[in-house]
Amino acid sequence: MNSLQFPRHGDKENSPFFEEYLVKLLEERDSLGLTSMVHEIDALMITVDPGHSVKYIAELCLMTAYHYLVTLESESHWTHILRIGLESPDILVREVKDPNLRGIFRSLNEIYPVGAKKPNSRYMGEIIRVDDLHDVVKLQQEREFRFFSQDEIRKLELPGNLAVSKPSPYTHNIVAYLERAADEMRVYALGVSRIDSEVQLAYEAAKNMQDKLRIGDLLLPIDHLATRVYSQNREVAILEYLSWSSYYFWGAYNIFNQNSSTNVTKSAHGLAESKSPAKVFTANNTPYFVNHLEQLPSPTETFVRNYGPRLHHLAIAVRDGEREGFENIEFVVNAIAAQGQGFLLDVIGSREEGLKQIFSNASEHSSLIIEYVQRFGDFQGFFTRDNVAMLTEAAGREEGVRLAAS
């Protein structure tokens, strides 16, 4: 494989360090065979505080194409598996049973003023499918990447058939590997499996509402995952993720009027985003401590200072087309908004520009925003410059971002 064969998009200038090591790391990854052995994102892991998983699953099952599959119960957690099918990633929603339970993932929240208010509410990271778990881990360890031991995985109550990285110093996310052939079922070796009656009822109610609203057939799988990091960590966070995964650097755009850049990575295997979502990294162009001198907007850096570096939103694709005189994205948003779901702005973009987008309010259960995106025709991008500027500005008005650190 050649991970450097893809065209570059965007106008963001990277440092010589980034450009040099982008080539070196991807050439090494290809030559070691890692790119060929590491495949799509198999699942996303999200943890919520006690008492929040049922409502969060109901929210996801109304707003997305996901279905409740099963619950895995371990000593300190319930892990609920949501699935669309094997051609798109699962979502693992973990609920902490005891509000006093402490651990490494909680500690990543507690040093941030807004993150600390929901100490267990955080996106943890991705599970990536690999051909040979032993060989991939061995190669990554030789490259100085670190993993939790099997005893640590057991104590953290993560599936025992995963190899799990230590949290990134740049994104605070983990990467896990799952050995699975492409045609095999996904299995998570954890706890006792059962159907949770409360979750099942909430799921059925959400899907019945989807049917009533006539939006279920318009919602497609996850399109991209957007992480926000400190300005100084933009380049290293991207290079680190490319080293863990089989993604390549698609490109980056400067969003001057929001003092930030949006950076995209995609699967080098040429997989559709519905099967392996793009990973987007957003960062300020300047650090927070020069804002009082430059008087520049700083929604991204403010988010990171208040929540910590973490996933900001899940983008859900909406099927192209119209329903009852509305573009599908507007039909979906109008229907969901009528059920009480808030949005940070109106639908923006146009058919002429190639896509329309919108951000929901942040979930009170996971702190994650849902983005809806509808592409028209053969448009292949993830945003237009005007769209992403408006989305970034709107996200800066979200309540948690506006709360200044005291």
Angle at 166 between CA 60 and CA 91, to 5 degrees: 15
The continuous run of DSSP H or E covering 25 comes out as helix 16-32
Judge whether 321 lies within some domain: yes
**Other CB atoms within 10 Å distance of the CB of residue 19:** 13
Q: What is the tens place of the pLDDT at every residue in 268-318?
A: 999 999 999 999 999 999 999 998 898 888 889 999 999 999 999 999 999
68 and 166, same domain (yes or no) = yes
Judge whether 228 lies within some domain: yes
257 and 379, same domain (yes or no) = yes
199 and 307, same domain (yes or no) = no
Q: What is the tens place of the pLDDT at every residue in 98-137?
A: 999 988 999 999 999 999 999 999 999 999 999 999 999 9
Q: What is the tens place of the pLDDT at every residue in 328-380?
A: 999 999 999 999 999 999 999 989 888 999 999 999 999 999 999 999 988 87
Q: What is the mean pLDDT of the chain?
A: 94
pLDDT for position 56: 98
Judge whether 8 lies within some domain: no
92 and 139, same domain (yes or no) = yes
Copy the structure tokens of residue 157.
């109550």
Judge whether 13 lies within some domain: no
Would you place residue 393 in the very low, low, confident or very high pLDDT band (cuts 50, 70, 90)?
Answer: confident
pLDDT for position 386: 72
Q: How many Å apart are CA 320 and CA 87, to the nearest integer?
A: 19
Judge whether 19 lies within some domain: no
Judge whether 357 lies within some domain: yes
Helix (H, G, I), strand (E, B) or coil at 312: strand
Judge whether 150 and 159 are in contact, CB under 8 Å: no
Q: How many Å apart are CA 66 and CA 44, to the nearest integer?
A: 12
Mean pLDDT, residues 196-201 taken together: 98
161 and 260, same domain (yes or no) = no
301 and 230, same domain (yes or no) = yes
pLDDT for position 405: 40
Indicate the number of domains in the chain: 2
Mean pLDDT, residues 191-212 taken together: 98
**For residue 266, what are the domain limits?**
215-402
Judge whether 9 lies within some domain: no
Instruction: Specify the pTM.
Output: 0.95
Judge whether 29 and 3 are in contact, CB under 8 Å: yes
Would you place residue 390 in the very low, low, confident or very high pLDDT band (cuts 50, 70, 90)?
Answer: confident
Which of 149, 177, 210 lies at the terminal end of a domain, its last residue?
210
Q: What is the CATH number of the domain that holds 234?
A: 3.10.180.10
Q: Is the pLDDT assigned to residue 404 strictly greater than 70?
A: no
265 and 139, same domain (yes or no) = no
Which of 161, 186, 210 lies at the terminal end of a domain, its last residue?
210
pLDDT for position 406: 42
288 and 204, same domain (yes or no) = no
Mean pLDDT, residues 390-403 taken together: 70
Mean pLDDT, residues 189-209 taken together: 98
Copy the structure tokens of residue 344.
């940070």
Q: How far from chain centre, in Å, is Cα 62?
A: 18
170 and 297, same domain (yes or no) = no
pLDDT for position 108: 93
Which of 170, 192, 210 lies at the terminal end of a domain, its last residue?
210
Judge whether 28 lies within some domain: no
255 and 300, same domain (yes or no) = yes
- Which residues 6+ apart lie within 8 Å of 204 measured at CB? none
205 and 272, same domain (yes or no) = no
> Phi, psi (5° rounding) for residue 365?
-95, -40
- pLDDT above 90 covers a percentage of the chain that reads 86
Judge whether 155 and 92 are in contact, CB under 8 Å: no
User: Tokens 């993932």 correspond to what residue?
Assistant: 105
pLDDT for position 389: 74
277 and 387, same domain (yes or no) = yes
